[in-house]
Structure formats: structure tokens, C-alpha cells
Amino acid sequence: TDTLRIENLHVSVEGKQILRGVNLEIKKGETHALMGPNGSGKSTLGLVIMGHPKYEVTEGAIYFNGENITEREVDERARMGLFYAFQRPVAIPGVKLADFLRHASSNVRNPNRKEGEELIPMREFRKELKGKMEQLRMDPDFARRYVNDGFSGGEMKRAEILQLAMLQPKIAILDETDSGLDADAVRLASQSIAEIGREKMGLLIITHHDKLLEHNPPQFTHVILGGRIVETGGAELADELHTQGYDRIRRMYPDAA
Ligand code: ADP
Ligand code: MG
Ligand code: MG
């Protein structure tokens, strides 16, 4: 079964140590919530799993299905079935969401595909895109817009969910968008993630919104503080942090922060 395993991961960025020994295992079908105060290292963990070149692994390793991928390129990881949705999604003016999805899906389906080589046939792709957009109750016009260009927070989230549905990654990391999502947008996102078929992927959801977890109760909740996972529990731990905040965690682990 598809497994992402992170072992004793230490990560620096611009000479500053951010992660200090993270251990984590995510398997297909599991939903994990990653929570922690601002600046604790949540996005760093997501970015380093995806292979962002700015983040240097100084100790430890990342394994996917037993293979050490710590030094792999971003593109290779994406083709293997890893997916990371940015906290601040990048706009790609001039590239329509549909074309972007056709390229990305072609690469995932044919991991050896080189730039310029054949894409998924247009008719086949269109049919699939239409089906997924209907399932997610999205307006077909949405796919004709340029990727994240002038998107509202809610639309970025919709685009991210459409990517999930089309690419069907093996492991997906969803970093909370920090452009304010209203309650309805969060609820819709939560429901859509559940509808896509959570059981077919391993999910790591980084969030402060309890509503995002509403339809996706985590089997595991991890609390990160000062670059270390200090506690792991079930859905009840996420509930506690959503209602009570991080005071207890900070008191219990004064050395971590
Ligand atoms: P979180 O997502 O939990 O809010 P981040 O992973 O974004 O936390 O950041 C953790 C720490 O690393 C913060 O102190 C942040 O300022 C620092 N950091 C993250 N990315 C960079 C970067 N590219 N350059 C410099 N510092 C960074
Ligand atoms: Mg942050
Ligand atoms: Mg973050």
C-alpha cells in the first residue's frame, strides 16, 4: 500500500533550522491533520516533502514506497503521485486551468513523458474533466480561466480540489490557504474532498478550520511546535485544539517553542 515515511527530518532554510527531527508515516486511506501555531513549521514540512529547492534537509530522510526520495526533483515527486497544494497558490497568467490539468494529468499517467510528447487525447480529457466538474458541481467556465489569476480564496480552493480529482495523487498535502475563506467555502471544500474519494489517497490536511475536517475526520492529529511533532492523537485532539487553542501544548512542551 502507498506509504510516505518521514524519518528524523531536520530542515534548514537560509541557514536557519526549522524542522528538528520530524517522524511521520502516512498510508493510503489515512487522513492526518497537522496543526500547530503560526511559524511552527507546517508549511515547511509540506514544501520539503514536495522537494522545494529552498529547503535543505540536513539530517533524516523522506521515503515513498520504500524508496529514498529526499534528493528527488519536484517534478519527479509529482509524477510519483505526491501532491502539495500551496498555502499561497501561484498564479499562471496565460495558462488555462484546463490546459494545466491536461499537462499535469498526462505526466502523472505517463511518468516518463517528456515535454512536447503526446498528451492525453483532447476528447478523452474533456470528457473526464466534464465528469469531475459535474460531480463537484463546478461551472465548466471555471476551467477556462487562467490558473489562480485573480482567483478569490474560495476559487483557489476549488481549483485545488479539481486538481485532486483529476490527478488522483497517492499522497496529498493540503496547506491551508491564508486568503480568508468564508464558512460556506470551507464547508464546500470539506465536502468535496470527501466526495473525491479520500480512501484512495493518503491525506495530510494542514488547517486551523475545524470545518475543513467536518467531512474528513482525521484518524491522526499531529501537533507541531518549534519544528517537532510533540503530540499525536485522534480526531479528539483536533477538536481540543480548535476549541481551546495551544496554551496546554505550550505549557507542556516549553522547550519546543
Ligand atoms: P507555519 O506554516 O507552521 O506557519 P512555516 O513552515 O511557514 O510555518 O515557517 C516556519 C518558520 O520558518 C517561520 O519562522 C518562518 O519565518 C521560517 N521560514 C519558512 N520559510 C522560510 C523561507 N523561505 N525563508 C526564511 N524563513 C522561512
Ligand atoms: Mg503560517
Ligand atoms: Mg503555513
Mutate to test the pocket of ligand 1, among 43, 48, 50, 84 (most ligand atoms within 8 A of CB): 43
Q: Give φ, ψ of 27 to 5 degrees.
A: -115, 155
Residue nearest to atom 24 of ligand 1 (CA): 13
* pTM of the predicted protein model: 0.93
Ligand closest to Cα of 47 equals 1
Residues in the chain with pLDDT values less than 50:
none
Q: Do 42 and 206 touch, CB atoms closer than 8 A?
A: yes
- Report the 10 Å Cβ neighbour count for 4: 24
Ligand closest to Cα of 41 equals 1
Q: Do 181 and 209 touch, CB atoms closer than 8 A?
A: yes
Nearest-atom index, ligand 1, CA of 227:
10
Whole-number Cα distances in Å, 174 to 156, 190, 203 = 12, 11, 8
How do strand 55-64 and strand 67-68 relate by DSSP bridges? antiparallel
| 193 Cα to the center of ligand 2, angstroms | 22
For residues 199-231, one letter each, b for 16 or more C-beta atoms within 10 angstroms of the residue's C-beta and e for the rest, the string is eebbbbbbbebebbbeebebebbbbbbbbbbbb
Mutate to test the pocket of ligand 1, among 11, 12, 17, 18 (most ligand atoms within 8 A of CB): 18
pLDDT of residue 178: 56
Nearest-atom index, ligand 1, CA of 175:
2
Nearest-atom index, ligand 1, CA of 41:
6
pLDDT of residue 41: 96
Name which of 221, 214, 151 is nearest 188 in CA terms: 214
Question: Does 207 fall in a domain?
Answer: yes
| 103 Cα to the center of ligand 2, angstroms | 30
Give the three cell numbers for residue 33: 491533520
Ligand closest to Cα of 86 equals 3
Nearest-atom index, ligand 1, CA of 54:
23
Question: Does 36 fall in a domain?
Answer: yes
Its domain, for residue 202, covers 3-252
Ligand closest to Cα of 225 equals 1
The ipTM estimated for the assembled molecules is 0.94
The tally of CA atoms less than 13 A away on the side-chain side of residue 234 is 2
| 140 Cα to the center of ligand 3, angstroms | 31
> What residues have their beta carbon closer than 5 A to ion ligand 2?
38
In the chain, the number of structural domains is 1
Question: Does 257 fall in a domain?
Answer: no
With the C-alpha atoms ordered 113, 116, 120, 125, is the resulting torsion angle positive or negative? positive
N- to C-terminal Cα separation, the chain? 35
Q: Give φ, ψ of 90 to 5 degrees.
A: -90, 135
pLDDT of residue 80: 95
Q: Do 39 and 226 touch, CB atoms closer than 8 A?
A: no
Give the three cell numbers for residue 100: 494545466
| 208 Cα to the center of ligand 3, angstroms | 10
pLDDT of residue 198: 80
Find the CATH number of the domain harbouring 104.
3.40.50.300
